[in-house]
Amino acid sequence: MESQTQYTREEINSTIWEVPEKYTRLKQIGTGAYGSVCSVINVKTTEKVAIKKLHRPFQSEIFAKRAYRELRLLKHMKHENVIHIGVEEFDRWSDLSFHSYLVMPYMFTDLSKVKGLLTEDRVQFLVYQMLCGLRVSLFVHKKSSLKRNDLKPGNLAVNQDCELKILDFGLARHAEAEMTGYVVTRWYRAPEVILNWMHYTQTVDIWSVGCIMGEMINGKTLFKGKDYMDQLTQIMKVTGVPGPDFIQKLDSQEAKSYVRSLPHFPRKDFSKLFPRASAQAIDLLEKMLVLDGETRLTAESALTHPYFDGLRDPEDCPEPQPYDDSHDNATLPLEDWRRLSFKEVKSFVPFPRRDSKRRNTLTISP
């Protein structure tokens, strides 16, 4: 049956947007290689939401597969602390030819734009939400070809109620050549990822959480390396240079020789490195910022740390739902990807929002 939805057409920064007429006051808030994002007002609900327009997602099999995977992942991520498709879909998705649109929750800004030093209760609440969202996204990573998130302040959306959502969970990394040259990303990457020096597990994301937590406490980037080697040096000045047992775990002889050649750096006293932090916060940081990924906390174990005793709620960490990865490594014709995407849209069920019982406020830069 043909949709009765009425659409309006508007040009924003040389891009044509065609959206249901209930969406007004379009304002571009982001753009990238694969799409643009606008904030809009839903006049029927008065709610502000974000709409992502995918640029020509079905122009080739590669683009079509990327669009399908993004749709599946956003649809599957039904957790408050991970970005998801949380509101109704365009019924115009049936015309999957040139452009497609995803409607998502609107978040005011990202963590990199939050002003000043944060009080401990805010740091605690934000890190708790990171770990809750991370726990769910890592479950999906286990069942897909995605290996890790790309956590950094710019990929953590926040609003003025201190609510947080992880924006990037590794979807487009295969098209970004791992972004190893992207300096801001490198500052939050686990040492084993920087040089690919050993097999790494999903605790690489816990390292990133530790870096972000330390930055929120001290108000400055923890490891701000000028290049890959300087990044590793900055890290080891804090963690200390590892001993022979750890060096034996390294995959390459080159990595082993490099670490053996480093001057001796003792592990820093974290209570001096983070003088504003509580004893529990320091203990958590010490267990996240560990050079050996095999001995770092997992997201699951980090959430049981006493630092979060006043926040922990079973409803914040529901059991992750099974993720169907049957098409992750598939090579299909363009029309099959289009058909699969349309099937996902038709089976979409909105994610119900759960109002937070714990309100806090953040000072956000304009």
Contact 103/85 with Cβ under 8 angstroms?
yes
Report, as residue numbers or ranges, the catalytic residues: 150
- The DSSP code sequence of 111-158 is GGGB-SPPPHHHHHHHHHHHHHHHHHHHHHHHTSS-------GGGEEE
List the one residue out of 130, 213, 222, 218 whose CA is nearest residue 184: 222
Spatial distance between the Cα atoms of 349 and 238, rounded to a whole number of angstroms: 47
Residue 226 marked ligand-binding: no
Q: Is 151 exposed, middle or buried (0-12, 13-18, 19+ CB in 10 A)?
A: buried
3-state secondary structure of 339: helix
DSSP, collapsed to helix, strand or coil, labels residue 249 as coil
Count of residues making up the chain: 366
Helices assigned H by DSSP within the chain: 61-76, 120-142, 183-186, 191-194, 204-218, 228-239, 244-247, 253-261, 270-273, 279-288, 299-303, 334-346
Distance of alpha carbon 135 from alpha carbon 116, whole angstroms:
28
Q: Following DSSP, what letter does each residue of 173-227 receive, concatenated?
A: GGGTGGGTT-HHHHTTS-HHHHTT-S---TTHHHHHHHHHHHHHHHSS-S---SS
Residues belonging to the binding site for ATP are 53
Residues belonging to the binding site are 53
